[in-house]
């Protein structure tokens, strides 16, 4: 489809010459283009739809890439990508070799800082502003952040630093919760026009300077005037907390009124010091299905543009569903079980737990560090807390896991969703480090179920384990049943199982790659059928040392498979354990994620690239069998 205005945009400079009316039409075209593109690629649509006018206004007032606009997370940055030279490549969004779903320094000079995890923008922007001041630069620095991310501890730490140092930069808060009443918004808009006006601010500063020069009464009087101004603003706007932290607060204003946005930003730009502009927007704006269900369209796969319906899957339950169903059942039998999420109720599939056990369900917001220590407090008081979190986001809570759960031997269960390769979201979201960082913590047991049945069994194991914290990881996507089983009892910690016996090579597998291992062994045919022994390790810590050592002593060859980083991972632990037990000359091949950040693409593409797909495992088996066995 051709667009009258959008197709003519070669760079953001074009926006500065457009009328407000033309910019509004451009916003409509961008939304139409965005919806049609994302329907084919999937992506974070609702937030980006809500941020279109704010993006255009920023580019009308500021001059990137000289001025720095730092986007938080990147969920709202699609319009930014489209107008900065990436429209023609937008069809490759989140695909292998295509443009990232988030901001990425190597992708464009307009992407001043990479994003993917929340609440980094203010800290990064403050770094840019301080570097500018040190070098004597004059460029502007802007951090764009969502209202939910603003409550994260990292954001508040950065605001505290920014306000204390009186650093000249701007924070733009995009508030899409629609919690601000029209009356308050209108009053604040009127006050805002006054507060950002040149005459007012010149008079304000001149009067303050004059008062401070008057002996005895100058300082107290200036303080009284400041208090009076803050009292008025406190009644009329919700920004007094930011004023107390040292920022000038403006807003809230309508984030879809391009004329008012542009004029307000121009006025704020002329002011020195730390500033915050609060804009309210509608998540999913301009596309009815996304407006109606912004949660579903926050991060969505391919969908039908006309109906908004996502493409149907094959119908198997997701691992998230298996986890949540298991937790709900276990909580029905034990009223000490509590669930904790960090602003990811739907993402972790715990809506049903919340409905059934509201008193034992806690959404702590985007605050993973707090979630971990809060859970440790619950555990110390006798509860059995389960922290349900994406693997990549739990990285933020490693210190708390070590200090508050591990050191104190508190029985907190960490249920890590999206473990391993996650696909199109790319390097910021792959959950590939948790085996390594959980395994290093004393008193922690580290579990990885191989399929849906084992996930249920290991959930029981985790909630029965009271000697310390435990972690259990499972991948994104539809579950499989690699091995059908009748026994659904809890597993003894550290107990592996022999899935298939063989004589010439041991394959020790951790987690869901087991299905690929079984398929690879089967694909090699009868010639190799009796040569391949397969062990489902279940635990990265403690290891079933005896079972693995007996097998390798027999075969003289070992292949380990895991969907996590090789460095510090399961395979290296197995190899080190065998050396400790006196096995010296066995041949070993460790399959896992190499020492790099995997890119974006389908999960199948990335697993193959990392050497843990069925095809890669088949090749590894054949290479190993070509080598003489060691003992």
List active site positions.
283, 368, 396
Helices (H), 294-397: 319-333, 351-356, 368-380, 391-394
Nearest to 432 by CA among 388, 465, 404, 395: 395
Rounded Cα distance between 226 and 159, Å, is 20
Taking residue 571's Cβ as centre, other Cβ atoms within 10 Å add up to 26
Cα four-point dihedral sign 594, 599, 603, 608: negative
Rounded Cα distance between 214 and 222, Å, is 10
Q: Find the radius of gyration of the CA atoms of the chain.
A: 28
Rounded Cα distance between 360 and 383, Å, is 10
| 140 in Cβ contact with 62 (< 8 Å) | yes
CA dihedral of 424, 426, 428, 433, whole degrees rounded to 10: 110
Residues paired with residue 384 on neighbouring β-strands, in sequence order:
337
Q: 299 is written with which tokens?
A: 């991060």
Helices (H), 144-217: 147-150, 153-165, 182-195, 198-212
| 56 in Cβ contact with 24 (< 8 Å) | no
Please report how the helices 198-212 and 182-195 are oriented relative to each other, as an axis angle in degrees rounded to 10: 60
Give the list of residues 6+ apart from residue 180 with CB closer than 8 angstroms, or none. 238, 252, 280
């Amino acid at each position: 489809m051709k667009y009258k205005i959008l197709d003519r945009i070669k760079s953001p400079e074009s926006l500065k010459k457009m009328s407000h009316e033309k910019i509004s039409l451009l916003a409509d075209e961008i939304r139409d283009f965005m919806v049609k593109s994302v329907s084919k690629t999937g992506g974070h649509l609702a937030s980006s739809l809500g941020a279109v006018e704010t993006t255009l206004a920023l580019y009308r007032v500021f001059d990137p890439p000289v001025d720095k606009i730092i986007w938080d997370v990147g969920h709202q940055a699609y319009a930014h990508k489209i107008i900065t030279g990436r429209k023609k490549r937008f069809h490759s969004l989140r695909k292998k070799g295509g443009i990232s779903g988030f901001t990425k320094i190597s992708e464009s000079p307009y992407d001043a800082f990479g994003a993917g995890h929340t609440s980094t923008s203010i800290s990064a922007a403050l770094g840019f502003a301080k570097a500018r001041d040190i070098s004597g630069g004059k460029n502007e620095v802007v951090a764009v952040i969502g209202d939910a991310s603003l409550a994260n501890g990292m954001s508040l730490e950065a605001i505290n630093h920014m306000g204390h140092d009186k650093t000249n930069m701007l924070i733009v808060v995009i508030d899409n919760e629609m919690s601000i009443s029209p009356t308050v918004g209108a009053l604040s808009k009127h006050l805002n026009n006054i507060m950002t006006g040149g005459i007012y601010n010149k008079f304000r500063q001149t009067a303050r300077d004059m008062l401070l020069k008057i002996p005895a009464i100058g300082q107290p009087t200036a303080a009284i005037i400041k208090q009076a101004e803050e009292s008025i603003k406190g009644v009329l706007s919700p920004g007094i907390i930011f004023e107390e932290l040292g920022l000038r607060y403006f807003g809230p204003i309508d984030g879809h009124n391009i004329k008012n946005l542009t004029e307000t930003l121009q006025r704020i730009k002329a002011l020195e010091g730390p500033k915050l502009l609060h804009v309210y927007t509608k998540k999913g704006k301009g596309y009815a299905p996304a407006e109606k269900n912004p949660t579903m369209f926050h991060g969505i796969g391919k969908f039908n543009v006309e109906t908004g319906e996502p493409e149907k899957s094959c119908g198997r339950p997701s691992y998230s569903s298996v986890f949540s169903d298991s937790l709900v059942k276990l909580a029905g039998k034990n009223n000490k079980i509590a669930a904790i999420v960090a602003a990811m109720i739907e993402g972790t599939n715990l809506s049903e737990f919340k409905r059934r056990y509201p008193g034992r369900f806690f959404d702590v917001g985007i605050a993973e560090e707090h979630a971990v220590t809060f859970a440790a407090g619950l555990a110390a008081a006798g509860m059995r807390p389960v922290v349900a979190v994406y693997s990549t986001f739990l990285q933020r809570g490693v210190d708390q896991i070590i200090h508050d759960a591990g050191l104190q031997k508190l029985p907190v269960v960490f249920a890590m969703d999206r473990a391993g390769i996650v696909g199109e979201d790319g390097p910021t979201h792959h959950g590939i480090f948790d085996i390594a960082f959980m395994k290093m913590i004393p008193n922690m047991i580290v579990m990885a179920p191989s399929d849906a049945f084992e996930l249920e069994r290991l959930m029981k194991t985790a909630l029965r384990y009271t000697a310390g914290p435990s972690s259990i990881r499972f991948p994104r996507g539809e579950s499989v049943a690699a091995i059908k089983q009748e026994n659904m009892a809890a597993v003894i910690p550290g107990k592996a199982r022999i899935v298939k016996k063989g004589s010439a090579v041991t394959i020790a597998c951790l987690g869901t790659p087991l299905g690929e291992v079984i398929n690879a062994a089967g694909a090699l045919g009868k010639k190799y059928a009796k040569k391949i022994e397969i062990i489902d390790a279940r635990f990265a810590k403690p290891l079933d040392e005896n079972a693995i050592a007996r097998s390798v002593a027999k075969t003289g060859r070992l292949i380990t498979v895991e969907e996590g980083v090789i460095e510090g991972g399961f395979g290296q632990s197995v190899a080190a354990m065998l050396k400790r037990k006196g096995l010296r000359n066995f041949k070993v091949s460790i399959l896992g994620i190499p020492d790099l950040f995997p890119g974006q693409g389908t999960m199948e593409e990335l697993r193959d690239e990392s050497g843990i797909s069925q095809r890669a495992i088949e090749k590894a088996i054949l290479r190993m069998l070509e080598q003489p066995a060691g003992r």
